[in-house]
Amino acid sequence: MAEAADEAGVSPLPREQTIEWFRDAKFGMFIHWGVYALLGKGEWIRTVGEIPRSEYAKLQRRFNPTKFDPDAWADFAENAGMKYMVFTTKHLDGFCMFDANNTDWKVTNAPYGRDVLAETTQAFEARGIRVGFYYCVWDCHHDDYLPQLDWEETDRPDERRDLRKYVDYMRDHTKQLLTDYRPAPFVMWWDAGWHNKPETVDAAGTNAMVRRLKPDILINDRQFTEEDLVTPEQRIPPTGLLDEHGNPVLWEACITMTSHWWGYDKHETVYKTSEFLIRMLVDIVSKGGNLLLNVGPKPDGTIQKEFRDRLAAIGKWMDKYSTAIHGTSASPFNLLPFYGRVTTKGDRLYVHVFEWPGDLVARLPNLQNQIVSACLLVPPGKRHHPLGFARNGSDWVITLPERAPDKAASVLVVELDGPPRVDPFVIRPNTKGVIRLPALYGALDGPHGQRIRYESCDGLIHAGNWIRPGDGIEWHFETNQAGLYRVKLEHVVESGQ
């Protein structure tokens, strides 16, 4: 593959250009696939199930995904509007989904016998979809990996291990991944670096080697060194992410369509709806981030219907509205009085309306610019329908049609007289001294596995699905009068809960 790339005249981009491309790409596919799919209980089953190494090793002899069609996978991603893909080259079970030079514990020694990574990379790159490589630092198969889990004592006795040998083994993999599959990868997506301190495994040295081999590459944060990409997992930050100096960082939320596992789970019954996934994409992009949306292929190499259907629904929406996602920047508004989000591109606002307001107006608070025009975003070639707009105090108010064009998210295009200039919206007491804190003005947050989200009931937006103690909502407001305040909470609990 490296030779083919050279013959085609592909030259590496400087890292700054890769960063700019990634900021514009916005949407990618995560693929978790390995021999664990045969058990259908997720990618952690080796450790969760405490399966002895000798027993787990038998899976290699069974792995023969005869229906594996990487072109079909790439089509699903392309049709969904995804611009990149990240593939699991090795997960915590240590099984290599590529033709690794230094181990027999790999896919090319399974009955299937082919380099899955090479075939997948070629299929995606043929469609202009750039490819990144996931690599799990934790390896519960290798003799020298440390630390040992309590249940592994018989399989991998502690006294015979040398972690330095494992680091060399991992670096050999890394060198091969960075040279044999070019122009991939655009990102080195480490995972599970939390077992050891970065200095114990010389993570900085490994990443320096990565940059020498491929200067245009991005590196994520999961070896706990300061690199390019911050990767919150199974949660959406309440706002964009900033560094210690207050500057926006490059970030990407990785999230499943399922309720839990990343790898194939034959017992899964709870899937995020297409509507929720579309709104989640818009929400993340409006905060300056990217979404890496996961699929876990089945052991036969197919992608299950639940994933295909949701990717198709996202693609149908993106066919109409992708210009409001790709190449956009974060919202200039800190708060909006309607359920929706804003993305920007130059002098243009894309106003994504999730729940059609009952008063048929979209209010843009504290927008200093003059509005030049406003209309509904329609596919290329379709006639634009202008919308009325008027100044109302410090706000602009846009008049909406009676019905929403799209159930998940309708998009308005608002042309301004220059780059958007917006004063922050501040919650303050009304004339009676009452501070109202609607859910829409609150920041929803939670740890890994966040469940809390905005929901609608009879047109009222509230913080719903609040089923985990770690989740919460937070408001910021100002008051010029210190004292004791009585707090009144309006809440509803469904019958039976």
Angle between helices 305-321 and 274-286 (to 10 degrees): 50
Query: For 270-302, b where at least 16 C-beta lie within 10 A, e where not — what string?
Result: ebbebbbbbbbbbbbbbbbbbbbbbbbbbbebb
Average pLDDT, the chain: 94
Give residue-wise pLDDT tens across range 149-180.
Answer: 888 877 766 677 899 999 999 999 999 999 99
pLDDT mean over 199-213:
97
The one-letter amino acid at 92: L
Q: Is the pLDDT of residue 10 over 80?
A: no
Give residue-wise pLDDT tens across range 437-470.
Answer: 999 999 999 999 999 999 887 778 899 999 899 9
* Residue 466 near residue 452, CB atoms below 8 Å: yes
Q: What pLDDT was estimated at residue 11?
A: 58
Residue-wise DSSP of 264-307: -BTT---B--HHHHHHHHHHHHHTT-EEEEEE---TTS---HHH
CA dihedral 135, 141, 145, 150 (to 10 degrees): 120
**Contacts of the segment 299-302: beta carbons below 8 A, 24+ positions apart:** 299/37, 299/38, 299/40, 299/63, 299/65, 299/264, 300/65, 300/66, 300/67, 300/68, 301/65, 301/66, 301/67, 301/68, 301/69, 302/67, 302/68, 302/69
Query: For 202-235, b where at least 16 C-beta lie within 10 A, e where not — what string?
Result: bbeebbeebeeebebbbbbbbbbbebbbbbbbbb
Q: What pLDDT was estimated at residue 7?
A: 44
Q: What pLDDT was estimated at residue 453?
A: 92
Give residue-wise pLDDT tens across range 69-106.
Answer: 999 999 999 999 999 999 999 999 999 999 999 999 99
Give residue-wise pLDDT tens across range 288-343.
Answer: 999 999 999 999 999 999 999 999 999 999 999 999 999 999 999 999 999 999 99
Q: What pLDDT was estimated at residue 459?
A: 76
Q: What pLDDT was estimated at residue 176?
A: 98
Give residue-wise pLDDT tens across range 222-234.
Answer: 999 999 999 999 9
* Residue 432 near residue 448, CB atoms below 8 Å: no
Q: What pLDDT was estimated at residue 6?
A: 46
When pLDDT is cut at 50, 70 and 90, the band that residue 4 belongs to is: very low
When pLDDT is cut at 50, 70 and 90, the band that residue 13 belongs to is: low
Q: Which residue has the higher pLDDT, 52 or 9?
A: 52
pLDDT mean over 390-398:
98
Rounded Cα–Cα distance for residues 34 and 31 (Å): 10
Task: Tell how strand 371-376 and strand 410-416 pair up.
Answer: antiparallel
Q: Which among 355, 289, 293, 363 is positioned nearest to 328, based on CA atoms?
A: 289
Single pTM value for the model? 0.94
3-state secondary structure of 25: helix
